[in-house]
């Protein structure tokens, strides 16, 4: 009697990320993930139920990775300016996570449920900034520049090598 094969959720998420990197969000299907790890579609569905749940799990995974970097940079502060500084620092360090999530985020951000949560996430990142003072306005500008650099680099709109990436974030840190 053979041992029952177990389905490794993290392995499935790794495979989903690899598919997105190669084929973009359009290539992400339950069938593609199953084929990538050599199991049946039912095995993937056993773990996630459907594609939406798989996508939610990917967002949760990427969000948790970002949140760890953000929390480390915040170091317990509650200052809105520190929150922007922490976002800049976390984004600077999220190359691997960002590269994996960018194409999926672009494809899915327009669905109503993801668009609403994405809008809320962005608003929360700059909530509490005092825009009546120069430091608050610089922080908002640094936040927007961080997101612009991220999108340009990871959506492939602009080639930004590692040296230029670091220089951009050095400039942002100076701005803040």
- Do residues 27 and 80 share a domain? no
User: What pLDDT was estimated at residue 97?
Assistant: 53
Q: Contact, 93 vs 173, CB < 8 A?
A: no
Q: 73: domain range?
A: 58-175
Per-residue tens of pLDDT for the chain, all 176 residues: 454 457 789 999 999 888 887 877 778 899 999 999 999 999 999 999 988 888 888 888 888 888 899 999 999 999 999 999 999 998 888 765 555 555 556 555 556 666 777 788 889 989 999 999 999 999 999 999 999 998 888 777 889 999 999 999 999 999 99
Q: Contact, 126 vs 78, CB < 8 A?
A: no
DSSP symbol at 50? S
> For the purposes of burial, counting CB atoms within 10 Å of the CB of 38, is it exposed (0-12), middle (13-18) or buried (19 or more)?
exposed
Alpha carbon 126 to its chain's center: 17
- Do residues 94 and 166 share a domain? yes
- Do residues 65 and 32 share a domain? no
- Do residues 118 and 79 share a domain? yes
Integer-rounded Cα Rg, in Å, for the chain is 19
pTM assigned to the model: 0.75
- Do residues 41 and 63 share a domain? no
> For the purposes of burial, counting CB atoms within 10 Å of the CB of 51, is it exposed (0-12), middle (13-18) or buried (19 or more)?
middle
User: What pLDDT was estimated at residue 98?
Assistant: 57
CATH of the domain at 27: 1.10.10
- Do residues 80 and 165 share a domain? yes
User: What pLDDT was estimated at residue 152?
Assistant: 86
Among 116, 115, 101, 107, which residue's Cα sits nearest to residue 150? 101
- Do residues 90 and 141 share a domain? yes
29: helix, strand or coil: coil
- Do residues 44 and 67 share a domain? no
Number of domains in the chain: 2
- Do residues 3 and 66 share a domain? no
């Amino acid at each position: 009697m053979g041992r029952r094969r177990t389905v490794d959720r993290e392995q499935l998420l790794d495979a989903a990320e690899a598919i997105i990197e190669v084929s973009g969000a359009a290539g992400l299907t339950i069938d593609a993930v199953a084929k990538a790890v050599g199991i049946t579609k039912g095995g993937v569905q056993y773990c996630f139920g459907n594609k939406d749940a798989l996508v939610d799990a990917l967002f949760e995974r990427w969000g948790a990775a970002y949140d760890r970097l953000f929390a480390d940079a915040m170091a317990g502060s509650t200052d809105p300016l520190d929150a922007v500084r922490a976002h800049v620092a976390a984004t600077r360090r999220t190359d691997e996570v960002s590269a994996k999530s960018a194409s999926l985020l672009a494809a899915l951000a327009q669905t109503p449920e993801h668009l609403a949560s994405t809008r809320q996430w962005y608003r929360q990142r700059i909530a509490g900034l005092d825009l009546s003072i120069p430091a608050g306005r610089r922080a908002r500008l640094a936040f927007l520049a961080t997101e612009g650099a991220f999108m340009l680099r990871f959506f492939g709109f602009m080639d930004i090598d590692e040296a230029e990436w670091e220089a951009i974030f050095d400039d942002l840190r100076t701005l803040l």
